[in-house]
Amino acid sequence: MAIFNNRLSELDDAIAHATSYKEYTEACLEHDELSGAQEWKEKDPCRDYDYRLIRKRVQRMQLAQSQDDISGLMSILHEGLHGNLGNIASPVLRTQCKIGTKVLIERFIEQVKKALDAIYNADEKEVDFYEKLHFFEETSHAFGRSCLMLSGGAGLGFFHAGVVKSLNEHKVLPTVISGASAGSIIAAMLATRTHDELLECMDPQFIHETFNGWRTWQGFNKKGLFDPRTLENALIKLFDVITFEEAFERTGRHVTVTVSPADLHQHSRLLNAKTSPNAIITQAVRASCAVPVIFNPVQLRAKNAKGDIIPYIPNRRFADGSLMADLPFERLARLYGVNHSIVSQTNPLAVPFLSTERTDPTTLRSMMWRHIGDLAKRNGIFAFDVLEQLVPGKGSKLALHKCRSIIDQQYVGDINILPENHLRNVGKILANPTLEGISNLIEQGEKATWSQLDAIERNTKISETLRSYLKQLKQREARMLKGVKLREVG
């Protein structure tokens, strides 16, 4: 027993200090084998998910596919396919092992993918093209999709680069992305860079050369304590005058930048190719990074039909996106059909109180602490509402309104990727970045993502397969319609 315990301790250390994802997975798999977790994975029964339902679905899909029954496969998938069928996406299932989950769940996901492959490739003498198109449209809409949300965090935001680098290299990067404050810089890179170009942009040397010296003191008698010109020049160099619509046409990614109003009677805005196609990304990011007191608020810009640069939402200025919309999940859900979130969270107001696993309380003590936390949040919101009504002056009311917004937000998602909670990270929040500091944060981001990669792959495999086939079918439909029009003209 002592030998096994010593080996498990050695493997824990190997997992914590792995220098590559390959090393990490090998150590995790050996740990699961020795600890008994592998045996747990191979047994179907478990009270944390409906294994009977999942097993029956697998059997039905296998039978339909063995009989080449495409209509039957479509019916099986139509009747109840969603991301958490039978509670298979529960975070509790991931606490039993270092990597992976129940073999039955992995078999189910793989069987669904095989079923979608069979439907897409089915002979169109049996399954009409438009029947396929309708199936993938309906099923894709009903199933939903994942999003990646990059929080604010000032100088800690370079952690997001490591997260994105890891997701990009393993080809599990969602196509719906939001960024607030520092997160908006990395989000804008995703909006404007292809897969290969991102590899270069996420390099520590490139980031250091671009953002070195962003913190330049300009004094107390200005609208902001720091001179924004270095940051503005870096953003112009990165994004020029590309609009959200132009960026989407280039990369196909649905990227949102959040900004907060600099006055009382406005709500936060989500700037993207749907809501503000002609808005210029550079100004949107500059506004989202305008932390109050640190940088002055910003006037947004857009391109008109002639390509001229004009004011966007004239007479209004905008500031730090994380103040009111650090993680705008509900609005992304309305815009893009998102129902699952991956969060890279570096906000210094939130990180010390968060856990990577969003699990429901299972003991009386944990339920009590959750209830106390909810009460404290509600009471804090109520107190700021009362104070906002009592204090005179627009500036005081605006400050209280922003503080209320910070308390009222949700700072976690379904999967949460967090930096190490080290005191040394605090010093990086408003410091000029060093090459060593950036390298360290990117490395932290990569390593923090490793433990979530297998869950992200499971949660995105079906939705990405659905959307990939739907995209191909729509492209084919466009070519067919174009051919019809050409024949009509002829």
Q: What residues act catalytically?
A: 181, 320
Q: Give the residue from 59, 206, 101, 112 showing the smallest Cα distance to 465.
A: 112
The pair phi, psi for residue 180, each rounded to 5°, is -125, 140
Least Cα distance to 57 among 93, 81, 90, 83 occurs for 81
Distance CA 51, CA 58 (A): 11
Residues 344 and 447: beta-carbon distance below 8 Å: no
Rounded-to-integer distance, Cα 76 and Cα 57, Å: 8
Cβ atoms of 206 and 177 closer than 8 Å:
no
Provide the residue count of the chain.
Answer: 490
Alpha carbon dihedral 412, 415, 419, 423, in 10-degree steps, equals 40
As a whole number of angstroms, the distance between CA 361 and CA 384 comes to 28
Contact 20, 28 (CB under 8 A): no
Give the DSSP per-residue string, 81-124: --TTGGGTT-GGGGTTSSS---HHHHHHHHHHHHHHHHHHTS-T
User: How far lies 83's CA from each of 48, 64, 481, in Å?
Assistant: 16, 21, 34
Contact assessment for residue 426 and residue 442, using Cβ atoms and an 8 Å cutoff: no
How many other C-beta atoms lie within 10 A of the C-beta of residue 44? 15
The encoded tokens of residue 181 equal 């404050």
End-to-end Cα distance, the chain: 82
**Cα–Cα distance measured from residue 155 to residue 159, given in angstroms and rounded to the nearest whole number:** 9
| β-sheet bridge partners, residue 269 | 259
Query: What burial letters (b/e) apply to 174-192, b meaning 16+ CB within 10 Å?
Result: bbbbbbbbbbbbbbbbbbb
Element (H, E) at 339: strand 338-344
Pairing relationship of beta strands 415-417 and 338-344 according to DSSP bridges: parallel
Coil vs helix vs strand at 261:
strand
The C-alpha atoms of residue 440 and residue 438 are separated, in whole angstroms, by 5
List CB contacts of 425: < 8 A, sequence separation 6 or more. Answer: 156, 419, 441
